[in-house]
Amino acid sequence: MTPMLRSLLVMLPLIAGAPQAADAPPAATNDPAIDHSVMDLKADPCGNFFRYACGGWIDANPIPADQSSWGLDQELMQRNQFQLRAILEKAAQNPTPDTQKIGDFYAACMDEAGIEKKGLAPLGAELEKVDALDDKAKLPALLGALHRDGVASLFGFGAGQDAKDAESEIAIADQGGMGLPDRDYYLKADGDSVKLRADYVTHVARMFALAGESPQDAAAHAATVLKIETALAKGALDRVSRRDPQLTYHLLKRAQLDVLTPGFDWTAYFSAVGAPPVGTIDVTEEKFFRMAGKLIAATSLGELKTYLKWHVVSDAAAWLPKAFVDENFAFYGKRLTGATEIRPRWKRCVGAVDDALGEDLGRAWVADHYPPEAKAGTERMVAAITEAFENDLKTIDWMSPETREKALVKLGQMRKKLGYPDRWRDYSAMKISRTDMLGNAAQASAFELQRELGKIGKPVDHGEWEMSPPTVNAYYDPQMNDINLPAGILQPPFFSPKYDDAVNFGATAGGTVGHEMTHGFDDQGRQYDGKGNLTEWWTKADAAKFKARAQCVVDQYSGYVAVDNLHINGRLTLGENVADLGGVRLGYVALMKILKDKPSPDIGGFTPAQRYFIGYGQSWCSQTRPEGKRLRIATDPHSPAEFRVNGVVSDMPEFAKAFSCKPDAPMVRAQACRVW
């Protein structure tokens, strides 16, 4: 189950990348007042609140060349990255037993001269494995070995909770093996999509040529890659359908799996990938595996090897010599996101260590940068939001007592995890070399897959995190029924124990805590009960009422144009929009309750309610290149920042009151949507 995030920033590490280099991190301010320079005070808050809250910052902060988008969250991420770099440089030079691995990983990654000198040699063993394939019957064993090393091809494999039995960890096989960001990229017939596919084929050919093929071979092989990936795309489920957990749950017994893909030796695959005995498996989408099975049967051995070689080279490209790095960036960075320069090496390497050894690095970072009072401050907000949500569930008028009672049970069972894990991950099984970046990346992939597969048949570990502590993001996991708020996002300018409550509540209590908690009750999350099981716990009538309210949100956001003539996909973004709306409402209610006992004066010319909405709005100050907007509209379940702000406030009478907006103002919707 994919967790539902606050934002997608970290989901596209190779593509969107992290913030641009600067000589020093911007200072974090702890000033409790709102920074007027971030705002555009000439704009009308009731006309375009996003512009009013963020206009000053946007005008003063053009998107850096190495970025697809730039926002206050990325500024914070950049600050965290500078702190992580300092830790890693120290670890690389003077390691302690606790920092040996992260220091070696970073040193190997930064050794560009060494990487250049070795050329393609580090990839030799992997390419030989593919070359040596002389019989399709041996493909499953080869795929297992490649998947272990992190080479994504044909399908994805791992472990996770059984959607309908959340206390049981099982094997999961999912669609995958496509080099473009979504299956729609292969199937759409419009001019832009056709052009993008042509550019993809050119990119694949260039990579084959860099790997030593003649231009003719490279071009022919690139066409083969597109042909195979297009066939996979045809079997794959679209992104909106994948939001429906019933459509991505197909539990099979081991014997049924063989029937699904005749001729594919799953026993050989499981053995090569390192899986324990597999009794049952969720294949998420039967159609995809049926198609993939037929595709393997219908494709020549040579073509299959071409396809696998492409993924071996492409997945390693970021850690190969410069020519590969540049070509990889030219397509996945420049072409797809609009960034014009690649991120500096050290940022790519900080990101790589964070991916591979996130809790070793995070433990060192937390010790230096997450004081106990920050944790106490967020605990207080979590308690206030929980109380507001309880009251909300007890008083909303559209839910029957029967469903209401179960909703309250689910809320009561929701775990709240703050800052960092109670128990740190043990990476001792991962072997890290100071001179082999590609080998380290493969080690990290194998470690992670083994860690996942090791869960099969064991009790669920409710303490584990899917994000590292310095991450500027947060998530709700419907099967764990928990919210996870990494220390990385609980920082200025989104949160500080020294800020005024109203600003903290707007940006963090509403924008993040309330948002994540509401995910438990969005179109997807509501289908799971408090124990994390996919089961119908709503009465039919209440489910219908929920859907009608959700439809209001679908229609609202589908009406927004993000770039060119591209509308937001109201169905793809429904869960996030519901979470934004619910979170900001809950945060507001929680703040007002606190202010009732302890009134707050105007600060910097703003009432507490105004500061609340400005705090929320400013947590989304950002701008995105047109290429990045197109990519996100196709793939990102979050609405663009401007609409996350304006969409939410225009549904809230509390906002109209705070800024004295007239009923016909653009930020006041005649038919306001409300779910929670």
Q: Which residues bind Zn ion (CB under 5 A)?
A: 4-6, 576, 579
**The tokens of 451 are what?**
């860690």
Q: Which is nearer to Zn ion, 485 or 579 (CB)?
A: 579
Q: Which is nearer to Zn ion, 5 or 10 (CB)?
A: 5
Phi and psi at 487, nearest 5°, equal -55, -30
Task: Name the nearest CA neighbour of 338 among 586, 136, 50, 624.
Answer: 624
Phi and psi at 627, nearest 5°, equal -60, -45
DSSP for 167-198, please give it. Answer: EEEEEEEEE---SSSSTHHHH--SHHHHHHHH
Least spacing, CB of residue 505 vs Zn ion, in Å = 18
Least spacing, CB of residue 515 vs Zn ion, in Å = 6
Phi and psi at 576, nearest 5°, equal -70, -40
Least spacing, CB of residue 253 vs Zn ion, in Å = 35
Residue 48 and residue 631 in contact, taking contact as beta carbons nearer than 8 Å: no
Phi and psi at 281, nearest 5°, equal -145, 140
Least spacing, CB of residue 571 vs Zn ion, in Å = 15
Q: Which is nearer to Zn ion, 529 or 576 (CB)?
A: 576
Sheet of 415-419: strand order equals 4-5, 475-477, 482-486, 415-419
CA–CA dist 176, 183 (Å, integer)? 9
398 burial (CB, 10 Å; 0-12 / 13-18 / 19+) is middle
Least spacing, CB of residue 4 vs Zn ion, in Å = 5
- For the chain, report the end-to-end CA distance as a whole number of angstroms: 23
Least spacing, CB of residue 73 vs Zn ion, in Å = 13
Q: Which is nearer to Zn ion, 45 or 520 (CB)?
A: 520
Least spacing, CB of residue 124 vs Zn ion, in Å = 42
Least spacing, CB of residue 675 vs Zn ion, in Å = 14
516 is catalytic: yes
Task: Name the nearest CA neighbour of 618 among 455, 503, 513.
Answer: 503
CA–CA dist 438, 160 (Å, integer)? 27
Q: Is the peptide bond before 371 cis (omega within 30 degrees of 0)?
A: no
Task: Name the nearest CA neighbour of 21 among 466, 462, 271, 344.
Answer: 344
Q: Which is nearer to Zn ion, 19 or 511 (CB)?
A: 511
368 is catalytic: no
CA–CA dist 49, 585 (Å, integer)? 16
Residue 292 and residue 232 in contact, taking contact as beta carbons nearer than 8 Å: yes
Residue corresponding to tokens 């303490």: 463
Q: Which is nearer to Zn ion, 83 or 635 (CB)?
A: 635
Least spacing, CB of residue 624 vs Zn ion, in Å = 18
User: What are the residues whose beta carbons fall under 8 Å from the beta carbon of 3, sequence distance 6 or more?
Assistant: 466, 475, 476, 477, 484
How many other C-beta atoms can be found within 10 angstroms of the C-beta atom of residue 551?
14
Q: Which is nearer to Zn ion, 104 or 516 (CB)?
A: 516
Least spacing, CB of residue 3 vs Zn ion, in Å = 9
Residue 52 and residue 41 in contact, taking contact as beta carbons nearer than 8 Å: yes
Residue 115 and residue 124 in contact, taking contact as beta carbons nearer than 8 Å: no
Task: Name the nearest CA neighbour of 17 among 83, 72, 70.
Answer: 70
Diameter of the chain measured on Cα atoms:
77
Q: Which is nearer to Zn ion, 6 or 101 (CB)?
A: 6
Least spacing, CB of residue 5 vs Zn ion, in Å = 5
Q: Which is nearer to Zn ion, 356 or 579 (CB)?
A: 579
What is the enclosing helix (H) or strand (E) of 561?
strand 561-563
Question: Of residues 580, 636, 642, 651, which has the active-site annotation?
Answer: 580
Q: Which is nearer to Zn ion, 1 or 4 (CB)?
A: 4
CA 8 from centroid of its chain's CA atoms: 4
Q: Which is nearer to Zn ion, 56 or 520 (CB)?
A: 520
Beta strand segments in 404-454, E: 415-419
Under DSSP, the state recorded for 603 is B
Question: Of residues 126, 516, 522, 542, which has the active-site annotation?
Answer: 516
Residue corresponding to tokens 């860099």: 210
- Which positions are catalytic? 516, 580
